[in-house]
Structure 1
Amino acid sequence: MSQQEEISQSKHQRDEFVESIDAEESGKPTRAVHVDDGRKQNKALQLIEEVGYSTTLTPENNKRVLRLIDLRLLPILLSIYFLQQLDKSTLSYASVFGLVEKAHLHGKMYSWLGSVVYLAQLICQPLVAYLLVKVPLGKFMAASVLLWGIALSCMTAANSFAGLLVCRMFLGMFEAGIAPAFIAVTQMWYRRREQPVRLGSWYAMNGVVNMFGSLITYGLGHIDSSVFEPYQIIFLFFGLITVGVSAAVLIFMPDSPMTAKFLNEEDKLVSIERLRMNQQGMESHEWKWEHVKEACLDLKSWLWFCLMLTISIPSGGITTFGPLIVKSFGFSALNTILLNIPFGAVQLVATMGGAWLATYWKMKGPVLALLCLPPIAGCVMLLRIAHDASHKGPLLAGYYLISVYPGITPLIYSWSAANTAGETKKKVTTGILIVGQCVGNVIGPTLYTTEEAPLYHRGLFSNLALFCVLFFLILSNIAYLTILNKKHERQRVAAGKEAKMVDYSMDAVEAAPTDKEGVPVQQVANDNAFKDLTDMKNEDFVYVY
């Protein structure tokens, strides 16, 4: 279909939109239940008004624009997250190459080097939420990458607990906005159907880091230097690479679909129209305190918090002590690094497999519950199997079963992102979720101590209990979302609408119904899509399980 045909086909939609805008200016009522000055509230409405029309979304132009978006955004997001996870993992790699001995770490000193990163992220979350509303996303991400690269490079000169602690604190501060920014990017660019796989893809870099990061570290560990210790070479190498990548992020990362230079005018309109059925708005730089209040009073926000807290406590401990746990099975330092490669492969498969299954089922809750089972089995194996040379194989198998847990975190991200609307509320809710993650990652390493080697009973038993709690929290969240959908059905009936509303944001574009003129119904049926309404205030919002 040509651009001219698309414009002609959507003429009645265009006229309806312009009439709605004129009605707002003159004070006349519009079809939307919630009347708001959309042009001031949302950049998407501003662009549509400036152009004079909104385009028609078809399977063809949707596929073409989605490919353009993926080719531009995913390499940037994957690279940044790969480096972030690699930079965080440098501590555990360095521990294998003598950091603990050279820096004279004892007691819980090493544990606190793992925890302080997340403590710093926790403290910074309110500021991050505000900046993500007020500051262009691309510029925010570039600055974050540059500053954390500098902080990691500075760890090369740190040779004591105090120096390492300060550097790790700054590393956490500058990394604090990365995950919230990535969630914001996913909400801004992708339909709800597309979000699990995209969120999963960048989070899957955890597994890639454990595979290739281990290989790179294995190589760096063989460098014979009279100036630097092996662990110092690791810090300097990855820190300088991160600083270099920040320049690429500044140049190539767009701030929003409306300002993206790699999209032409028609493609920008398609990128906007793709998100209409999400009912989440797109871009607004106005901080709304009513959204903050709703996010803080919304039970959903605290369910996300509890879910993320519960998964992050074992995550923090295993991330920091994983290589030491494997080493305790009786392997050498270099073999321990190599045996971390299958751990990463399992993470990669679990993360992308879970994202694919959530997309296929159109549900995230049941997939999350399913992903809890292998880590439970793995913890039981490490607790019950004797730690001796004859049981290395079963112990490794248990450790690899635990490594399924990283597939859980991105699905919680995606579940929260898909069920929250309103620009400020989205950022505040994400902040609450990240706070839960940070608290969990602070607590996690403290459940393990080097003195407990090689069994680490306290840490593993705590992890087992938390995976079980997580399973029941997931079921509770599904029940609450069901209650909210029933509430919105009653609100739609009160507003004179149909009680049941099909959520086409979870379907392929070609599955959406069309009117007698062939125009997809979702293009003209939802006035609230870009009004920057919260999910609670928008009766057209459908919660996904």
Structure 2
Amino acid sequence: MNPNVRQSGDSAPVEEHEKIPDERFGDDGLHPVPPAEFNRILRKVDRRVIPILAIFYLLSFLDRGSIGNANIQGLSETLGLVGHQYNWCLTVFFFPYSFFEPVSNLMLVRLRPSIWLPSIVTAWGIVMTLTGVVQNYSGLLAARFFLGLTEAGLFPGLAFYVSLWYPRANAQFRLALIFASASMAGAFSGLLAYLIVKMDGVGGLEGWRWIFLLEGMLTVAVAVVSFWLVWDSPKTATFLTDREKEILLASLGHTVNAASSNEHASHWKQVKAAIFDWQTILHCLGYWGVATAVYALSLFLPTIIKGLGYSAAIAQLLTIPIYAAATMSCIAVGYFADKTAKRSLFTIACYLIILIGYIIVVAPPRFIPGLIYAGCFIAACGMYPAIPGLLALASNNWAPDAKRAVGIAIQIGVGSMGGAAASNFYRSSDSPRYRLGHSLVLAFTALGLLSTVSYYVICKKLNARRDAAAPSEQSYTEAELLGMGDRAPTFRYRV
């Protein structure tokens, strides 16, 4: 029996990963190792695992969002896009992106992450490069479809992959470090676009084409190198000593062992459990609310700022302070949410910040450019740290691993359809204020806030109910508890 799963005779049953306060134990409270040594191991993993994941996601967000930078540099005019054709090119990305995320995560847990992750990065880098040579609306539409298809597996894959390396108590800060690269991508996107469009006319190509060509080739180059930089799990990590592996695996409980087993990972029972679990709808709605805001900002921020009276070049540069502030906010919130173990409360605060930002944008009766810029600035500082918070809640509270992998993919897949909606919120006829678009983002954010508050309340009640359960109701074998996952009476939701 696992000594960390308390049996029916114990007075305070806890879930397998649960923290047991004891100065002899590491941060996760599961093994007799000094905290300083355990933290050293985590930092060692950080140096080898987080940078390449952050680079992957930076490139992902850079590549999917650069169409906004290309558009204000003449993409629509060159391709002859009229009416809502540009918006449809944004929208079509999200249909394959959302649909194939659960499928891709199943592939990830069945195959080796060191092969699957670099392969999908290579694939979308090729698609991104080819986007630079499209000649008409149909070509751009097809390119965006295949970009969504090839990018689909990355973010849910990264979220699940992090859970294979870090205990629940240490996950959000690492997810924040990865997702902060999305806001960094926004800053880089504006700066790179400002520099790249100066190549206008080189090789007989327009400047906006070079945005796709150069960024796509960069992605392919990074992907090829990454085949030697991604490890499958702590068990196979050559940069860890045997003792370090033992300590890290102990802190993860059964996570890595189950994740490395195809029998567990492909178990249809857990796939079905993820689809019909009560958590799924709330996780999806919460993510949808924030994803709508994130995609609205990343796809339209250059256009919104240009509408404030700036040139295209200056609009590109003015996106940088907003994304830089969002990056710092994302990392800071992730750090303190892990340190205090108050993930739901920090995430709820992020929703409130987004609401404040968009209220500042929408409420004034007349068009005030400075307020619109300030509102977008404030909202960005709330929306980017909210995503890691939501993913950490999902990663912490879905179990076992096959259910977690599918659940996270469903959460991100369904939630990312908010991007499809946001792609059509900002119509050229609403320029320069875009009050309708901002109001819709505000409404979706309110929906996400309501869902997250509901999730917090339900989890607290379920934990209290399990704490109060009679010991006789908790006489299960370890195998039974593992099979029950988050429905086990010894499991406690972390909120």
Q: TM-score, normalised by structure 1?
A: 0.81
| Residues in 1 aligned to 2:248 and 2:477: alpha-carbon distance in whole angstroms | 17
Deviations 1:277-333 (A, max 9, x none): 989954322211111222222111111011112222232222211111111110100
Alignment of 1:386-465 (within 5 A): 391-404=368-381, 405-465=383-443
Amino acid at match of 1:263: L
Task: Flag structure 2 segments of 5+ consecutive residues without an equivalent.
Answer: 9-29
TM-fit CA distance, 1:55: 7.6
2:316 maps to 1:337: yes
Amino acid at match of 2:238: K
| Residues in 2 aligned to 1:342 and 1:444: alpha-carbon distance in whole angstroms | 22
Partner of 1:514: none
User: What SS does structure 2 have at the residue aligned with 1:252?
Assistant: coil
Would you say the 8 A contact 1:146–1:243 is kept in 2? yes
Instruction: Calculate the aligned-residue CA RMSD, in Å.
Output: 2.6
Task: Note closer, same or farther for the CA distance 1:206–1:126 as it changes in structure 2 (3 Å cut).
Answer: closer
Structure exhibiting the larger radius of gyration computed from Cα positions? 1
Partner of 1:369: 348
User: What SS does structure 2 have at the residue aligned with 1:194?
Assistant: helix
Partner of 1:241: 218
| Residues in 1 aligned to 2:366 and 2:238: alpha-carbon distance in whole angstroms | 57
Amino acid at match of 2:235: M
Would you say the 8 A contact 2:255–2:401 is kept in 1? no
TM-fit CA distance, 1:491: 5.3
2:175 maps to 1:199: yes
2:213 maps to 1:263: no
| Residues in 2 aligned to 1:137 and 1:61: alpha-carbon distance in whole angstroms | 27
How many matched pairs?
469
Task: Flag structure 1 segments of 5+ consecutive residues without an equivalent.
Answer: 1-15, 21-29, 34-53, 498-525
Equivalent of 2:153, from 177, 185, 189? 177
TM-fit CA distance, 1:540: 2.5
529-538 or 139-148, which moves further after superposition?
529-538
Amino acid at match of 1:430: I
| Residues in 1 aligned to 2:439 and 2:257: alpha-carbon distance in whole angstroms | 40
2:282 maps to 1:303: yes
Deviations 1:54-103 (A, max 9, x none): 98543243123212211100111111111111111210110121111111
Partner of 1:541: 491
Task: Note closer, same or farther for the CA distance 1:395–1:159 as it changes in structure 2 (3 Å cut).
Answer: same
Partner of 1:148: 124
Would you say the 8 A contact 1:276–1:529 is kept in 2? no
| Residues in 1 aligned to 2:366 and 2:332: alpha-carbon distance in whole angstroms | 31
Deviations 1:329-388 (A, max 9, x none): 101000000100011012112211221231232111111111122222222222234666
Would you say the 8 A contact 1:378–1:402 is kept in 2? yes
User: What SS does structure 1 have at the residue aligned with 2:80?
Assistant: coil
TM-fit CA distance, 1:421: 1.3
Amino acid at match of 1:384: A
Alignment of 1:29-108 (within 5 A): 56-108=32-84
Would you say the 8 A contact 2:105–2:157 is kept in 1? no
| Residues in 2 aligned to 1:140 and 1:59: alpha-carbon distance in whole angstroms | 34
TM-fit CA distance, 1:392: 3.0
TM-fit CA distance, 1:528: 4.4
TM-fit CA distance, 1:397: 0.9
TM-fit CA distance, 1:134: 0.7
Task: Note closer, same or farther for the CA distance 1:67–1:194 as it changes in structure 2 (3 Å cut).
Answer: same
TM-fit CA distance, 1:537: 4.1
Deviations 1:123-151 (A, max 9, x none): 21232132122111121101011000000
Amino acid at match of 1:432: I
TM-fit CA distance, 1:456: 1.3
